[in-house]
Amino acid sequence: MITFRKFVESDWFEIDDPVNKYYDKINDVIKEFFSLLGNGVNFTMVENDKVICCGGVVYIDDNNAEAWIRLSTRASNKPLKLLKTIKVGFDMILRSLGSVNVSSHVLDGFNAGERLTEYLGFNKTEEFMIIGDKKYNKYAKI
């Protein structure tokens, strides 16, 4: 059974087998990311006493927020159940935020991340950002 609980910073590190490992290589980005977490709604999903997913939405300013997610490769054993559960979590968060513009950035060419982001109702925009030497495409919730 998958359960939700409040995200704590150690949950990030408990996922030692993330689907996308690139962020782990950029310590400055991780430090900045953790500094923003207090300004949002974040969750952890646990199955069989193991953290399999964490994510949420953090405020960038009064009108804009950024959605994020970190998935364990262990989470893919029941993909449909997991996707539906993640969507429920994000839908609850997004409803609670009201009229805030929510976006998410996905590593260019990371097909699983792109599909998940689109499944959650985000649409790819023309905007992108560069972190380190990687391009991240912007997706916006409309």
pLDDT tens figures, 48-74 = 899 999 999 998 888 999 999 888 888
Q: What is the overall mean pLDDT for the chain?
A: 85
> What is the rounded radius of gyration, in angstroms, for the C-alpha atoms of the chain?
14
Query: Residue 34: which of 54, 5, 63, 64 has the closest Cα?
Result: 54
According to DSSP, residue 72 is labeled B
User: Is the pLDDT reported for residue 122 higher than 90?
Assistant: yes
Domain that holds residue 111: 2-141
Determine how β-strand 50-59 pairs with β-strand 101-107.
unpaired
Question: Where does residue 91 fall: left (phi above 0), alpha (psi -120 to 50 degrees), or beta otherwise?
Answer: alpha
Residues 6 or more apart whose Cβ sits within 8 Å of residue 29 = 23, 131, 132
Mean pLDDT of 94-111: 89
Read off the CATH number of the domain in which 27 is found: 3.40.630.30
Contact 106, 128 (CB under 8 A): no
pTM of the full predicted structure? Answer: 0.85
Give me the number of domains the chain comprises.
Answer: 1
pLDDT tens digits, residue range 30-49? 667 777 777 888 999 998 89
